Amino acid sequence: MSERNLILAIETSCDETSAAVIENGTTILSNVVASQIESHKRFGGVVPEVASRHHVEQITLIIEAAMLDATVSFEELSAVAVTEGPGLVGALLVGVHAAKAIAFAHSLPLIGVHHIAGHIYANQLIKPLQYPLMSLVVSGGHTELVYMEAEGEFQIIGETRDDAVGEAYDKVARTLGLPYPGGPHIDKLAMNAVESVDLPRAWLEADSFDFSFSGLKSAVINKVHNEKQKGREIDPAHLARGFQESVIDVLVTKTLRAIEKFPSKQLLLAGGVAANKGLRQRLEQEFKQSKTELIIPPLSLCTDNAAMIGAAASIKLKQQSFSNYALNGNPGLDLEQS
Ligand code: KG4
Ligand code: ZN
């Protein structure tokens, strides 16, 4: 891209209110994230109404902070981008309305972005992307292998049939009495554990790239209950390690098989669970000798943030693929159609 473009991006799909300014789809000028985790912790999960209310309180301040951090004026912007879906509808609507208001007030093009496209394009903020590529998407709501032959073209070749991997982490963490969100706590326990409880792996059919984590989650819950009934206590660290080993084994094995079938120049890791230490280490080890280049975003770009939405929006800006004022929060937005 020869000309400089600046996108103001907004993300409010779940429990983070975030705004960012991105230059040419690759450079972060600002990325402000206000997390609501503290408010949701005592409920053991995200409460949609509480999330929406926090977004309403925060959104203007966060956008102002992002513009100030970037030292950019609204007149200099090329477009306003916002997460259109999937996510919590009330939460999405706050971002969508803010984006529409700014687009209208400053006569800017409006760009609706799929949240998962954002997670994938977070990698473009690290390195130039080369197609065809494969992306392993692991978040609180999604577990998918996404093949991309070209920019902005998403083909889901495998996905979870039940729980998303992050969801399984959070539920297992709750069983082990760990705070929400449980993923980082399980990760820490697992990485420091000396022993591992043997747990099943759901491979599904031999040629399937789909995933299933609910059986594994139930296996952990059953182990805890069975031991309790026998008057024994199982070490949570050993369980955490067994759980994490099973998850990583399945994710990495299926990813390697997917790359064999769909030749890929790069493998991108994406989504909140990409912050997982065990997963990052195992992938780094597996891809050391590989012809496929592994890209893993830093922790700040793994969990929800608006910078990734700006990066994904830059492709739509290039293609002049804009939304109109009928843009709405869409909890069921399809990645392949987005
Ligand atoms: O992508 P994300 O921020 O939100 C969604 O779009 O869903 O992902 C949040 C998920 C939560 O389930 C959280 O427990 C998980 O990412 N997570 C982790 C780690 N850090 C965050 N899971 C495993 N290990 C981690 N270190
Ligand atoms: Zn996310």
Percentage of the chain exceeding pLDDT 90: 91
Separation of 303 CA from ligand 2 center, angstroms?
Answer: 6
Mutate to test the pocket of ligand 1, among 169, 189, 333 (most ligand atoms within 8 A of CB): 169
Tell me the per-residue pLDDT of 265-282, one tens digit each, with 9 for 90 and over. 999 999 999 999 999 999
In a domain, 191, yes or no: yes
> Of all atoms in ligand 1, which is nearest to the CA of residue 279?
24
Retrieve residue 277's tokens: 């230490």
Q: Does pLDDT of 2 surpass 70?
A: no
**Do 57 and 112 lie in a common domain?**
yes
**Do 209 and 254 lie in a common domain?**
yes
Q: Which ligand is nearest to the CA of 118?
A: 2
In a domain, 334, yes or no: no
Residue 136 CA to residue 159 CA, distance in Å, equals: 10
**Do 153 and 220 lie in a common domain?**
yes
**Pairing of the two strands 27-35 and 79-85:** unpaired
**Do 26 and 86 lie in a common domain?**
yes
Neighbours of ion ligand 2 (CB under 5 A): 139, 304
> Of all atoms in ligand 1, which is nearest to the CA of residue 119?
1
**Do 112 and 186 lie in a common domain?**
no
In a domain, 64, yes or no: yes
In a domain, 306, yes or no: yes
User: What is the residue with the minimal CA distance to atom 23 of ligand 1?
Assistant: 183
**Do 114 and 164 lie in a common domain?**
no
In a domain, 329, yes or no: no
**Do 154 and 278 lie in a common domain?**
yes
**Do 272 and 255 lie in a common domain?**
yes
**Do 168 and 233 lie in a common domain?**
yes
**Pairing of the two strands 6-11 and 16-23:** antiparallel
Domain that holds residue 62: 6-121+302-318
The per-residue pLDDT of the chain, averaged, comes to: 95
CATH number of the domain encompassing residue 68: 3.30.420.40
End-to-end CA distance of the chain: 22
Residue 184 CA to residue 36 CA, distance in Å, equals: 16
Q: Does pLDDT of 35 surpass 90?
A: no
Burial of residue 82 (CB within 10 Å: 0-12, 13-18, 19+) is buried
> Of all atoms in ligand 1, which is nearest to the CA of residue 182?
14
In a domain, 335, yes or no: no
**Do 88 and 179 lie in a common domain?**
no
Tell me the per-residue pLDDT of 208-227, one tens digit each, with 9 for 90 and over. 999 999 999 999 999 999 99
Average pLDDT over residues 158-180: 95
**Do 106 and 221 lie in a common domain?**
no
**Do 292 and 156 lie in a common domain?**
yes
Q: Specify the number of domains making up the chain.
A: 2
Average pLDDT over residues 240-262: 98
In a domain, 166, yes or no: yes
Residue 138 CA to residue 159 CA, distance in Å, equals: 10
With a Cβ cut-off of 6 Å, ligand 1 is lined by 14, 139-141, 166, 169-170, 181-184, 187, 271-273, 275-276, 303-304
